[in-house]
Amino acid sequence: MAANPDKNGIAFSLPHHLFQIWENQQTGVLTVNPGPDERVFCFVKGELTAIRKYFPEKDFLDWLIEIKKIEPPLRLNRQLLGSDAIKSVVAILIEHGFISSQEAFELLSDFLTSRLSDYFSLVEVPHKFEEENFNEEEVILKGIFTPSIILNGIRKITRIDNFARFLPSEKELILRQAPSYSSKLNLSPPEIYLWNLLQTPKTLAWLLEQSWLGPTETRKTILALSCLKLLDFSPNAVSLENNGRPGFIDLEKSLAIFNEKCAFIYKYVAKQLGPVAFNLIEKCYREVQEYLDPIFLNLEIKPDGSFEPRAMLRFSLNELDPEEKKTLLRGFDEILTAELLMVKKNLGNQHEETLVKSLRKAGEPF
């Protein structure tokens, strides 16, 4: 049995747990609000599925009446319909022409999705997941895309302040992710707008000030995208405004400090994971380079994990104008932040925190 997962000591919300079920391709039964008022949802390889023995036909009929697809006198009266031999109420409705077979399966999907997303506004709703395999003949409908359920459910949340603990602090850096499944998500224009704002990492404070969506919708969109791992947060990231540096920015020194930190991170990861550390560092750089200024493209990663910025060596870094300097500093920060997130994902939060404390000794606060 798998109970509510835990994130940094804080119980996951239901949307977070649903994404974990989908990401891990789990098959089994999710019980929400266990007890007299519990509801059961089935998943096959992480996707919401209608299973015959768990499907609540009476609730489905009540829902059809609620949305005015059928009239109340039809409630389960098999004898009236002359359908005593038909076991499925859905089959009765199809047989007598109240709904078409195509519509029936569309309504099944909408019903399950609606029932599950009803709980999204409740932060503390108890839920548990138990692994269970289902016979193929028990499957009525499968393949309801769980990330879309999460996205649509969070869109309906009205009290986003209840989810504050799942959002970054205003000083945290928010980084855009591009997982392979992102193309399957039907992001709305506001969600695409915010995601595009994060082509380079931004703090929550910056987004709240600059976003056209307003603070409430901005926070709600961040919650939705982060639940789907389209965003990640770095609690140890620096501010983008000069990185806490004084008015005059010595880029030659900043580059040296950047490489000192990169080498330190590589050494730390190599000690924990061995030779795979270099591949992880390289993967970090490849994933973030498309968001960087062209000057950061095709950097050479040295055997010690530091970078050889050949294009930067063609001119004096300190002769650049202030905006160009900020661009380079942001690039340094984005690479370092990506590496810290790599540490968190592969070694855990405690290792990330330990590493950040050590990095503070590397020339300046990080």
* Measured distance CA(200)–CA(209) in Å, rounded: 16
Q: Tokens 């029932």 sit at which residue?
A: 115
- pLDDT value, residue 311: 54
Please state, in angstroms and as integers, the Cα–Cα distance from residue 310 to each residue in 79, 233, 296, 301, following that order: 83, 30, 9, 11
**Average pLDDT for residues 95-109, to the nearest whole number?**
87
Q: Where are the domains of the chain?
A: 6-151, 159-234, 242-359
Of 302, 304, 312, 359, give the one whose Cα is nearest residue 336.
359
Residues contacting 28, CB < 8 A, separation 6+:
42, 43, 129, 130, 131, 132
Looking at per-residue confidence, does 51 or 338 come out higher? 51
Residue 83 has which token pair?
A: 């359908």
Q: How many angstroms separate the CA atoms of 39 and 356, rounded?
A: 44
pLDDT averaged over every residue in the chain = 80
Burial (CB < 10 A; 0-12, 13-18, 19+), residue 68, is exposed
Phi-psi region of 17 (alpha: psi -120 to 50; beta: other; left: phi over 0): alpha
Chain segment 58-93, per-residue pLDDT in tens: 888 888 888 888 776 555 554 444 445 556 777 888
Q: How far is 160 from 80, CA to CA, in rounded Å?
A: 48
Q: How far is 52 from 313, CA to CA, in rounded Å? A: 67
* Strand extents, DSSP E, 237-296: none
Are 306 and 312 in contact by the 8 Å Cβ rule? The answer is no
Q: How confident is the model at residue 3 (pLDDT cuts 50, 70, 90)?
A: very low
% of the chain exceeding 90 in pLDDT: 28
More confident residue, 53 or 232: 53
Residue 203's beta-bridge partner residues?
A: 173
Backbone angles phi, psi at 311, to 5 degrees: -60, -30
- In Å, the largest CA–CA distance within the chain is 89
Write down the number of H helices and E strands in the chain.
13, 12
Instruction: Work out the average pLDDT over 159-183.
Output: 82
Q: pLDDT for 285-313, tens place per residue? A: 887 777 777 777 777 888 999 887 665 55
H or E segment to which residue 66 belongs: helix 57-66
Nearest C-alpha neighbor of 217 from the set 174, 157, 138: 157
Q: 312-361, pLDDT tens digit by residue?
A: 554 556 666 666 777 777 788 888 888 888 888 888 878 887 887 777 65
Mean pLDDT of 267-280: 90
- Predicted confidence (pLDDT) at residue 4 exceeds the cutoff of 50: no
Q: Which of 69-83, 95-109, 112-126, 145-159 has the lowest mean pLDDT?
A: 69-83
**Residue 129 and residue 242: Cα distance in Å, rounded?**
46
Q: Rounded CA gap, 89 and 94, in Å?
A: 9
The rounded distance, in Å, linking the Cα atoms of 82 and 32 is 36
Rounded mean pLDDT, 179-197 = 86
Cα–Cα distance between 1 and 17 in angstroms, integer?
A: 14
What pLDDT score was predicted for residue 256? 83
pLDDT of residue 312: 57
